[in-house]
């Protein structure tokens, strides 16, 4: 038995490699999408907690911040919105 025989026997069938690559690409894409949604949610939570002075410092009005926070359904439900 040679090393080539051992390596050849351990390799995947030729048709399995492309499928494995497609599955791994799909898993990576899903993980990236989940990570992005978590970052957006965290940013909106932070935005919801800013004071009027802090919002003014970053160039946003309270209304603009409220609109952005409301883009997240669950944050809009959790956040108490004062009537304007």
pLDDT band at 28 (very low <50, low <70, confident <90, very high): very high
pLDDT at 82: 46
Which tens digit of pLDDT belongs to each residue from 31-73?
999 999 999 989 998 998 999 999 999 999 999 999 998 888 6
Query: Which pair of tokens denotes residue 49?
Result: 């907690």
Helix/strand/coil percentages in the chain, nearest 5: 75, 0, 25
Placement of tokens 């494995």 in the chain: 20
pLDDT at 53: 95
Q: In degrees rounded to 5, what are phi and psi of residue 79?
A: -80, 130
pTM assigned to the model: 0.61
Query: Cβ distance 47 to 72 under 8 Å?
Result: no
- More reliable by pLDDT, 49 or 77: 49
pLDDT at 84: 39
pLDDT at 11: 61
Q: Other C-beta atoms within 10 Å of 55: how many?
A: 16
């Amino acid at each position: 038995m040679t090393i080539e025989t051992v390596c050849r026997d351990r390799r995947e069938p030729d048709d399995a490699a492309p499928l494995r690559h497609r599955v791994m690409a799909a898993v990576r894409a899903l993980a990236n999408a989940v990570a992005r949604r978590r970052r957006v949610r965290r940013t909106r939570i932070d935005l919801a907690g800013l004071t009027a002075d802090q919002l003014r410092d970053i160039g946003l009005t309270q209304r603009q911040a409220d609109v952005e926070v409301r883009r997240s359904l669950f944050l809009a439900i959790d956040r108490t919105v004062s009537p304007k």
